[in-house]
Structure 1
């Protein structure tokens, strides 16, 4: 069975992908006066980097953001012309390609900066100084800020780089508590003061991602980075956003079984009454979490039906009760909130994870429809 018929990740029926992204960006715009950078990493959070980027720009996003230079260059190749920032490149990223593509590069250490400018063009690559504001994950540690800023000022004087941005990350933004964000805000302000004192002016400063954008204006500075929110995920849980996709699959097999029938590998589930079981052709190889709670379900004909037995590599079994479901019937695994259709938030709860892992984990066999 080919990937073009086994499953589908499609825009929701009631709202297209561009409409959902536009609606979510409108919510973000109402919360901030800062510029909005639309983050389209992880292939647009599993929805396709190019279509998500196009929809975001059409809806008014000022910038785009990716993890690495290759992702950014792919957006340029697709015809997107707005400023792009990339902030997780291996040492020695191609500065010439970045400069030629008009792509900004974040640097978080003196070593990263030295490797980048060693390959810089005479015009210099545009850089954002990336400082650690409390994550201890990426960005320059506070003890090394002076060295990085001094090196960046030297690179700018020699025409190797243009310092145009300053960035950090909020470690506790999902708590939706400005008090929790205050230490990171203070650190970034301190870094901005040091950059200004080094004669580098006041670069475009940005700290907040989706949660900060939606909950705390003090974190917004000159720009916010809105990524998960584009596709309907609010990690803070404070704002109802619009789901941007619907995952569907056809029923490929349906059968009547008696009470006491073991289902799936290991027979971990046994039917308690006579019922009908339907098979959907997707499983953990397609991004369906293997460990899910007994509540996990799909929607068929406007009703929820439980998934029973273990999730297999490429199959799940659904108990449809007293009514048989003909092969070819469409089941909806997740989609926008409508009171019946499971959402990515439901799936995250059933799998004990976060919505991000649900949408970014969809496998390559799933066909994406425009």
Structure 2
């Protein structure tokens, strides 16, 4: 086992432990699910809060052949760290650093006429063609080009730029809206439209290296959506895309992040004692309270206040009162673990601790938000790196 951390691990306020061995195993399981399609490891938003560079490195070691980011800044960070291979960045705004991306050999997404014009100008300035993926809006309603005349116009403009040597059209892609809701009628409709829009582009002369629409949920449950490549994000980190889809274990995946903190204070209080802002919690009788030195500034969701989610000494403890910015309180029910005792907020669940899904359900949100919102003042500690 190898372990690295930016701070000593013995006396930290809180830590997010990242099991890189679990991440590699997850990528390998997802490769098997992909059934021969290439795997893009999505490391946007600092790898969903897990750390972009170490997670990207391990994903490539486990057989992923592409990396995916939202912003070009995220992609440039990977290149600056020396990560090789193909990287796609797919969210752009006018005036974005297209030339810098082209010079760093980063693939870019095009879904409208303005970005076709800007990337062509940047490629001319860079003196090399841009590698581009044409984005089709097949029903999600976010970025991407609408079918019909808009798609025809963008395809034609991209082909003209390709004829001028300014771009190489290497991909056609889209994004599913409801793949995490098995059987949703939009899934079949989007796949049909994607096939139609891709066929049109190919009839006009586009020769893509990769066609891709499958996200994590589709990779796990919709083999007909795999095409040439799948994009795995949340599943790579061993977190379920939705309760309807199933648990990570159902697909042979293991949660990668374990979040813990050290109790900073344990004290006995009488019954009738108000706890935290607004006194939404009043102790029902004499008890002990444990102070957790993390709060919503660290990413702990305030709506989870009042839930029994934190594991201390083998028992799930109730969040007493409101989660505050920098701390919250546990009702320890009369137990008196010493200050400094470990309190596990979430992890794989092996020791009876809560999972990210448990926190999501308590907070009325999704698991993605639980892991991505863990703040930067919580150090990431990496275990089981491959090198």
Relative to structure 2, which stretch is displaced further, 170-179 or 124-133? 170-179
> Are 2:55 and 1:52 equivalent residues in the alignment?
yes
2:26 to 24, 27, 30: 24
Distance 1:194 1:92, change over 3 A: farther
1:66 to 42, 66, 69: 69
Alignment of 1:1-370 (within 5 A): 5-11=12-18, 17-32=19-34, 33-120=36-123, 121-143=126-148, 144-177=150-183, 179-236=185-242, 237-240=245-248, 241-292=253-304, 294-338=306-350, 340-370=352-382
Distance between the aligned counterparts of 2:145 and 2:22, measured in 1? 36
Distance between the aligned counterparts of 1:9 and 1:45, measured in 2? 12
Relative to structure 2, which stretch is displaced further, 238-247 or 308-317? 238-247
Deviation at 1:225? 0.4
SS, match of residue 369 in structure 1: strand
Deviation at 1:286? 0.8
SS, match of residue 151 in structure 1: helix
Distance between the aligned counterparts of 2:209 and 2:191, measured in 1? 16
Q: Is the 8 A contact 1:195 1:202 kept in 2?
A: no
Q: Is the 8 A contact 2:169 2:208 kept in 1?
A: no
Distance between the aligned counterparts of 1:140 and 1:228, measured in 2? 25
SS, match of residue 175 in structure 1: coil
- Corresponding residue of 1:14: none
**Structure 2: segments with no counterpart, 5+ residues:** 1-6, 383-387
**Structure 1: segments with no counterpart, 5+ residues:** 12-16
Deviation at 1:298? 0.6
TM-score, length of structure 2 as denominator length: 0.90
Q: Is the 8 A contact 1:94 1:116 kept in 2?
A: no
Q: CA deviation digits over 1:79-121, x for unaligned, max 9?
A: 1102100100222333332222221001110111101111113
Deviation at 1:332? 0.8
SS, match of residue 122 in structure 2: coil
SS, match of residue 363 in structure 1: coil
Deviation at 1:297? 2.2
Distance between the aligned counterparts of 1:201 and 1:90, measured in 2? 26
Q: CA deviation digits over 1:223-278, x for unaligned, max 9?
A: 01000111112214235231111111111111101111111112111111211101
Deviation at 1:178? 7.2
- Corresponding residue of 2:385: none
Q: Is the 8 A contact 1:95 1:117 kept in 2?
A: no
SS, match of residue 344 in structure 2: strand
Q: CA deviation digits over 1:118-152, x for unaligned, max 9?
A: 11133210000001010111101113000000000
Which structure carries more relative contact order (alpha carbon 8 Å, separation 6+)?
2
TM-score, length of structure 1 as denominator length: 0.94
Distance between the aligned counterparts of 1:262 and 1:320, measured in 2? 15
Distance between the aligned counterparts of 1:353 and 1:179, measured in 2? 23
Deviation at 1:174? 0.8
Q: Is the 8 A contact 1:192 1:202 kept in 2?
A: no
Q: Is the 8 A contact 2:178 2:184 kept in 1?
A: no
Q: Is the 8 A contact 2:23 2:59 kept in 1?
A: yes
Deviation at 1:293? 5.3
